[in-house]
């Protein structure tokens, strides 16, 4: 059979997934490879003719000869995903839809495809394949929770690996916390399930052979179950950079409470886990209480971040504005908070209420949900939250968030965080220089292309020169500083381009 599996592009350019939106980049790159389509492909018989398309880096072939077209859709891909589904069906192709938002809101997709996969595909994959071969696909497959120990290695050999910066290994699903704005526990559950270390290593071997030297450990909370985390990190330590193998930098997602475990942080460093996304959200204790972000309460968030960075991990932090306890002063307060952190990379978001979350239910009951904005429908020329804030308008929240993002990205402010970060960062065990200096899959790290390009601007040139001075002073963290600089420049370029696009839309 001919199978065509597609990860649609996001409806709005997003730096976390798409580098093609950065002006001046040569070619199209994904920051992280699309693991969903590669994972689904592994369940099809090897005799099938399978094509993968990550629309971040490839054009969809609407003329593709396919017995089945599969699309994996999350909330940021709804408009594009439905557009593709309708077009392929118009051309007589059978279409299957799955993914996070299809699972959370199947009612939105009924009638838009020949088949919906609701939940985790692995639990119905054998039955799905039997039905497909027999020509009797059901209109819906309701899935249970998958056993990650049984998951086959994704078909990365089918993916356009030369267009992705980081590979992906999913190491767990689910999270025991109950943050009111997070839909992970609605989709994957609060009981975390783990992939055995030997299965993780098998996938790492595959990605390493394909040339990946940066790999994301896809985990909703990598450090929440410490015994399991230690077992996996020990396996990574025994594999990474040994037996003549060039070392790999790992990244993942963890919560701030890891700062209480210095031994675990030391093991992260030793194993090559160098980059962590941490959801700080806000320094306002009332807002943290409101959102049930209990793990962030009762601690000095700045001090806890310093412990993590001092242990050799670079933090990329998430900040949120627009909680019910936030008024118009929250933007200045978040700026002051962020400038105290040893953190350069910051995701700044306006609070939204994802479908099926406790926050969505609460806001809907209160009459504070804008339904047309909940499922990816654009409202006006500026992306607006789908909830009505308590102490400002939706427009004021969007404007305040944009101001905060721009203020934090301004070179004169970013350089202060670079200085704090460079002073604080602990020395890593693994030397990534050999991986950084060798071409990977025939090319250099694409984000590094931005450094000479952005250096043409006086403000950026001063920042880049300042970072070069930091590298001269601390050459042992050169890889980290260069990587952080490249990420910062990419974020600045993309954010500027997005602002220009929105200004053009508003003017028209």
Instruction: Provide the pLDDT for residue 252.
Output: 97
pLDDT at 157 over 70: yes
Can you read off the two tokens belonging to residue 346?
């910051």
Place 17 in a pLDDT band, splitting at 50, 70 and 90: very low
Instruction: Provide the pLDDT for residue 25.
Output: 60
Instruction: Provide the pLDDT for residue 206.
Output: 96
The chain-wide mean pLDDT, for the chain, equals: 89
H or E stretch including 387? none
Domains delineated in the chain: 2-148 (3.40.50.280), 154-424 (3.80.30.20), 433-507 (no CATH)
Taking Cα atoms as reference points, which of 228, 207, 225 lies closest to residue 216? 207
pLDDT at 325 over 90: yes
Say what percent of the chain tops pLDDT 70. Answer: 90
Can you read off the two tokens belonging to residue 184?
């992970």
pLDDT at 483 over 60: yes
Can you read off the two tokens belonging to residue 196?
């055995």
> Among the listed ranges 104-118, 271-285, 362-376, 469-483, which one has the minimum average pLDDT value?
362-376
Instruction: Provide the pLDDT for residue 12.
Output: 66
pLDDT at 144 over 50: yes
Instruction: Provide the pLDDT for residue 488.
Output: 93
Instruction: Provide the pLDDT for residue 222.
Output: 94
394, 321 Cβ separation under 8 angstroms: no
Taking Cα atoms as reference points, which of 322, 224, 254, 253 lies closest to residue 282? 322
Taking Cα atoms as reference points, which of 468, 467, 372 lies closest to residue 411? 467
Average pLDDT of the residues in 265-274: 96
End-to-end distance of the chain based on CA atoms, in angstroms? 47
Taking Cα atoms as reference points, which of 56, 11, 55 lies closest to residue 29? 56
Place 26 in a pLDDT band, splitting at 50, 70 and 90: low
Strands 172-173 and 193-194: antiparallel
């Amino acid at each position: 059979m001919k199978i065509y599996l597609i990860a649609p592009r996001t409806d709005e350019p997003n730096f976390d997934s798409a580098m093609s939106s950065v002006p001046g980049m040569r070619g199209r790159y994904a920051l992280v490879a699309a693991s969903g389509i590669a994972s689904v492909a592994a369940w099809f018989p090897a005799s099938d003719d399978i094509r993968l398309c990550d629309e971040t880096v490839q054009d969809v072939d609407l003329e593709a000869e396919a017995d089945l077209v599969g699309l994996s859709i999350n909330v940021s891909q709804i408009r594009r995903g439905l557009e593709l589904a309708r077009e392929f069906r118009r051309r007589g192709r059978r279409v299957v839809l799955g993914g996070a938002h299809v699972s959370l809101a199947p009612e939105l997709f009924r009638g838009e495809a020949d088949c919906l996969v609701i939940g985790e595909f692995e639990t119905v994959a054998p039955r799905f394949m039997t039905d497909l071969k027999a020509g009797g696909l059901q209109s819906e497959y309701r899935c249970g929770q998958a056993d990650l120990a049984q998951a086959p290695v994704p078909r990365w050999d089918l993916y356009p690996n030369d267009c992705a910066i980081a590979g992906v290994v999913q190491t767990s699903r689910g999270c025991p916390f109950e943050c009111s704005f997070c839909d992970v526990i609605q989709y994957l559950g609060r009981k975390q399930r783990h992939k055995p270390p030997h299965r993780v290593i098998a996938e790492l071997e595959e990605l390493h052979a394909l040339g990946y030297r940066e790999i994301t450990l896809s985990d909703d909370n990598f450090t929440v179950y410490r015994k399991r985390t230690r077992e996996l990190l020990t396996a990574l330590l025994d594999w990474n950079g040994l037996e003549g193998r060039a070392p790999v930098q790992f990244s993942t997602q963890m919560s701030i409470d890891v700062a209480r475990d210095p031994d675990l942080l030391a093991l992260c460093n030793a194993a090559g886990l160098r980059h962590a996304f941490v959801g700080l959200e806000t320094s306002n204790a009332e807002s943290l209480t409101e959102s049930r972000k209990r793990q962030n309460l009762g601690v000095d968030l700045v001090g806890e971040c310093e412990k993590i960075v001092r242990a050799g991990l670079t933090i990329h932090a998430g900040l949120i504005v627009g909680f019910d306890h936030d008024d118009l002063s929250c933007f200045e307060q978040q700026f002051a908070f962020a400038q105290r952190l040893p953190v350069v990379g910051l995701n700044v978001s306006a609070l939204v209420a994802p479908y099926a979350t406790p926050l969505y239910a609460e806001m809907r009951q209160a009459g504070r949900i804008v339904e047309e904005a909940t499922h990816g429908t654009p409202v006006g020329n500026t992306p607006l939250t789908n909830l009505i804030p308590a102490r400002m308008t939706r427009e004021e929240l969007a404007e305040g968030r944009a101001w905060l993002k721009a203020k934090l990205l301004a070179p004169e402010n970013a350089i202060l965080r670079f200085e704090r970060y460079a002073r604080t960062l602990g020395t890593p065990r693994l030397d990534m220089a050999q991986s950084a200096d060798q071409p990977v899959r025939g090319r250099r790290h694409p984000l590094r292309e931005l450094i000479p390009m952005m250096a043409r601007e006086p403000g950026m040139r001063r920042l880049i020169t300042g970072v070069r001075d930091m590298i001269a002073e601390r050459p042992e963290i050169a890889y980290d500083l260069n990587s952080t600089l490249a990420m910062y420049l990419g974020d600045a370029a993309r954010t500027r381009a997005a602002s220009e696009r929105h200004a053009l839309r508003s003017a028209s």
